[in-house]
Structure 1
Amino acid sequence: MNTRILKKQLTRLGLASLSLALLAGCASKGESADAPKELRSFDATSSLDSQWDRNVGDGFGHARYPIAPAREGDSVFAADAEGVVMAMGANSGDVEWKIDLDTTISSALTAIAGQVYLATGNGEVISLDQRDGSENWRSRVSSEVLAAPQANQQLLVVQSVDGQVTALDRASGEERWVYTSSQPSLTLRGTGTPMVIDPVSFIGLANGRLATLDNRSGQPLWEMQIATPSGRSEVERLVDLSGQPVISPDGRLFVTSYNGRVVALEATQGDVLWEADLSSRHTPVLVGDFLFVVTDDSQVVALDANSGREIWRNDDLEDRWLTAPAFADGRLVVGDFEGYLHLIDAREGDIVGRTRVHSSGISVRPVTEGSTIHVQANNGRLETLEVTP
């Protein structure tokens, strides 16, 4: 078993020991430690043409912090674990600004309404101006933050690794409310990413529960057990909701869970519409009537979003530690532990394109805009590619 990979995926909380964390890594791949599938030749019908690349600091560090880049408008924003943040032209790659925050960055980035939000290993949340990288404010939450802060018009909602959810005023960074949940003694490394809309926030928790919070007060409107712990050991009882819930325009909520299921809910009351027996720690992608899920053993599955029926399944990349999927011009986009970027036809499920970004590996979800893909490797290399035809 590759303990280096396992340490990236799991962390200790409470009384959990390192040996237990490593055992949990074995459990996430099944009873045996399966070797990643070798890449096979395929009929390439799409190409990935490099447009530009930049080195962003020194990468994600030994802890492999999930510092996924973000894009808004014509700019892409990326960072490294040591505090370097850069803005680049999305089309040209020209550096618009570069700053050093002199602190460890631990979370993915969020770019919205002229601001860039990120968080640090010591529980600071920072707001930057997209125009020049100047700092608007810093606020502190209860502990380390790995999930990207999420915003609506007034609030920035931050979920920290101790299970606490904090709402900050987007303009000032002042605390508005705090929601606290119970944490199991052992969790996956990372937390769920809140799904925030104007009236409510949907919060996935490490205890397998989904909470819907009123954004005016932080009080729960309803809660549901998405994944139920089972088994005798703490490892077998891991049920983290570590992806981000996805909401459809007609008010359906799609939630993934580790050692659990994929569930479609009616977002207002939490009524279950359907469920599928798939374990996933990743955020799914909803495109029309298709819901795309990367499972914990790195199979890629397309579900009918209306019924949960499986449409296709691709296991060509099994156990290659795939990222969460993104969508670009009719193709799914996933990265793997060896630094390959794969394109999968969204309707048929076949691999149609591939390129290698960097041998350090890809562990964060690519960012897409139309047929353009921005992908950052673990060593910090940010590459922009165009899908053709």
Structure 2
Amino acid sequence: MHDRTPPVLTLRGTSSPIIARDLVLVGQDGGSLVALQLNDGSVAWEAEIAAPRGRTELERMVDIKGDPVVYRGDVYVGAYQGRIASVGLYTGRVGWTREFSTYLGAAADPERVFSVDDRSRIWAFDRFSGGAIWRQEDLSQVNLSPPTVYGDYLLVGDSAGYLNWLSVRDGSLQDRVRVGRQAIAEAPLVVNGRIYVLTSGGNLGVYRLAED
């Protein structure tokens, strides 16, 4: 069991614990990412992703609400009113950071890290340096789900019930499919080449790319 005292004011909800080999990764309300040993819960390392700033409790919120994503030995995670960062999975050493505010999780491919900021703009960052590659603002009028990588596409659900297909290379919107009339709040799930999308109203959509 691992517990800690949260700040006075936090965002609603928490990140999910993510198992990566023999570690459990947990984003915390105070802006830190902690790695626990899977066998006994002891702290392997703790990395500060964002530090509270400002005079009021509202200004000082730097919660990590989105789930961390692990890709090829690194962890990518973002904090509200804080930063997005790359952290070594086994060292806990912060590789790069960039000023960024998000309450959603991230996704990654061999070259890029993707996330959605608190203004519903989708970003792609260089996986090795953290430099911005592109920004997509065409969907900023709706609330978005966390992103998911599917081959050459980035999949993002929205509050109008659409599954949006974007190019991972330049962020251009390639297609939209309406799953239902309720919001898609959770990240699309890819299993064995199929995409599973669930709306808050209980509509389930299953998709795959048509074969040539």
For 2:191 and 2:174, the matched residues in 1 are separated by 19
Query: Could you list the runs of 4 or more consecutive aligned residues of structure 1 that deviate by over 6 angstroms after TM superposition?
Result: none
Q: SS of 1:277's equivalent?
A: strand
| Structure 2 spans left out of the alignment, 5+ residues | none
Q: Deviations over 1:180-220 (max 9, x none)?
A: 11111222121112221232212110111111212232121
Report how far residue 388 of structure 1 moved: 4.2
Cα distance change on mapping 1:224 and 1:328 into 2, 3 Å: closer
Structure 1 vs Structure 2 CA RMSD: 1.6
Report the alpha carbon displacement of residue 263 of structure 1 after superposing the two structures with TM: 0.7
Check conservation: 1:329, 1:371, Cα contact below 8 A: no
Q: Which runs of 5+ in 1 are unaligned?
A: 1-177
Are residue 384 (structure 1) and residue 206 (structure 2) matched? yes
Q: Which residue of 2 aligns with 1:208?
A: 31
Say whether residues 1:365 and 2:187 are aligned partners. yes
Q: Partner of 1:328 in structure 2?
A: 150
**C-alpha separation in 2, matches of 1:374 and 1:269:** 34
User: How many pairs align?
Assistant: 211
Identity percentage over the alignment? Answer: 33
- The equivalent of 1:290 in structure 2 is 112
Q: Matches of 1:357 and 1:246 in 2, distance apart?
A: 25
Deviation at 1:376, TM superposition (A): 0.9
Alignment of 1:111-260 (within 5 A): 178-249=1-72, 251-260=73-82
Residue of structure 1 in register with 2:85 after alignment: 263
- 1:322-364, CA deviations, whole angstroms, 9 ceiling, x for partnerless residues? 0001122311111111111111011121000012121222111
Q: For 2:46 and 2:20, how far apart are their aligned partners in 1?
A: 17
3-state SS of paired residue (1:221): strand
1:234 to 1:315, Cα distance in 2 relative to 1, 3 A: same
**CA shift for structure 1 position 224:** 2.1
Q: What is aligned with 1:5?
A: none
1: CA distance, partners of 2:167 / 2:193: 13
Give the whole-Å Cα distance in 1 for the aligned partners of 2:147 and 2:13. 17
TM-score (normalised: structure 2):
0.93
Give, in whole Å, the separation in 2 of the partners of 1:199 and 1:326. Answer: 24
The 2-side partners of 1:304 and 1:329 are apart by: 17
The offset of 1:293, in angstroms, is: 0.9
C-alpha distance in structure 1 between counterparts of 2:151 and 2:93, whole Å: 33
How far off its partner does 1:377 sit? 1.1
1:307 paired to 2:147: no
Look up the match of 1:343: 165
Higher helix residue share: 1
TM-superposed deviation, 1:284: 0.7
Counterpart AA for 2:27: G
Task: State the distance in 2 between where 1:211 and 1:200 align.
Answer: 10
Aligned equivalents of 1:326, 1:181: Cα separation in 2: 30
| Cα deviation, residue 319, structure 1 | 4.0
Kept in 2: contact 1:240–1:257 (CA 8 A): yes
C-alpha displacement of 1:306: 0.6
Alignment partner, residue 149 of structure 1 = none
Kept in 2: contact 1:328–1:372 (CA 8 A):
no
Q: Is the 8 A contact 1:253 1:267 kept in 2?
A: yes
Determine the C-alpha separation between the residues in 2 that align with 1:268 and 1:198: 10
Matched with 1:276 is 98
Question: Which amino acid in structure 2 is aligned with residue 240 of structure 1?
Answer: D
1 or 2 for the larger relative contact order (CA 8 Å, sep ≥6)? 1
Shift of 1:372: 2.6
Deviation digits for residues 104-131 of structure 1 (CA, Å, limit 9, x no counterpart): xxxxxxxxxxxxxxxxxxxxxxxxxxxx
Shift of 1:386: 2.7
Could you say which structure has the larger radius of gyration?
1
Letter in 1 for 2:74: R
- Farther off after superposition, 342-351 or 356-365: 356-365
The alignment partner of 2:209 has SS state of: strand
